[in-house]
Homo-oligomer: A and B are copies of this chain.
Amino acid sequence: MDTTAPLHPDVAELAGLLGTWRGQGRGEYPTIDSFEYQEEVSFGHVGKPFLTYRQSTIRLDTGLPAHAEIGYLRGVGAGRLELVLAHPTGVAEIAEGTIEHLADPAGGLRLHLHSTQVARTTTAKRVDSLERRIDITGDTLHYDLSMAAVGEPHQHHLSATLHRQA
């Protein structure tokens, strides 16, 4: 999906996300054993007012593919952004939130997104809400994800720290 087209002005302030990121994370939830994972995230663009986003993880204990998700981040102006995401678990996520510029000499960026709609297929597990905080400082990306799912209240589920690949 990447292109030689210039970055669209509506996503210019998201330029710090572009590239491929790798690192490790940890997941927890009351209904499952805690687990650790390797992750790869990529943000790209095609010159239109959105970034492409894809993510996949591998469980450290089994070496097998775990979660993945794929979609788009839309720049909509006034420091706001929208996320449209498909999960292979049968869940589609619409989230909206803010872009904040951190006072960091390396160029810090903080994204905070809350789901506004979580749609799902007949056979998918129930997910009621998702909240994502993503901090970027230079070539380091840290995120936290909280969710309400399978009848549990909204709470912390995932954190990971990733590094931009050269």
Residues of chain A at the chain B interface (Cβ within 8 Å): 1, 3, 46-48, 50, 52, 54, 56, 65, 68, 70-72, 74, 76, 82, 84-88, 90-94, 96, 116-124
* Contact across chains for A86 and B88 when beta carbons are under 8 A apart: no
Contact partners of A120 in chain B: CB under 8 A? 94, 117
| Cβ–Cβ < 8 Å partners of A46 in chain B | 65, 68
A70 touches B71 (CB 8 A): yes
Task: Give the distance to chain B from A122, nearest Cβ to Cβ, in Å.
Answer: 6
Minimum Cβ distance to chain B for residue A85 (Å): 6
Name the CB-closest residue of B to A77.
B123
Chain B residue numbers with a CB within 8 Å of A3 are 65
Instruction: Please give the distance in Å from A72's CB to the nearest CB on chain B.
Output: 4
Chain B hits for A76, CB < 8 A? 121-123
* A88 touching B123, Cβ below 8 Å: no
Would B94 and A121 count as touching, CB distance under 8 A? Answer: yes
**A70 touches which of B86, B117, B121, B123 (Cβ 8 Å):** B86
A119 touches B92 (CB 8 A): yes
CA distance A159 to B60 in the complex (A): 44
Q: How many angstroms from the CA of A27 to the CA of B124 in the assembled complex? A: 32
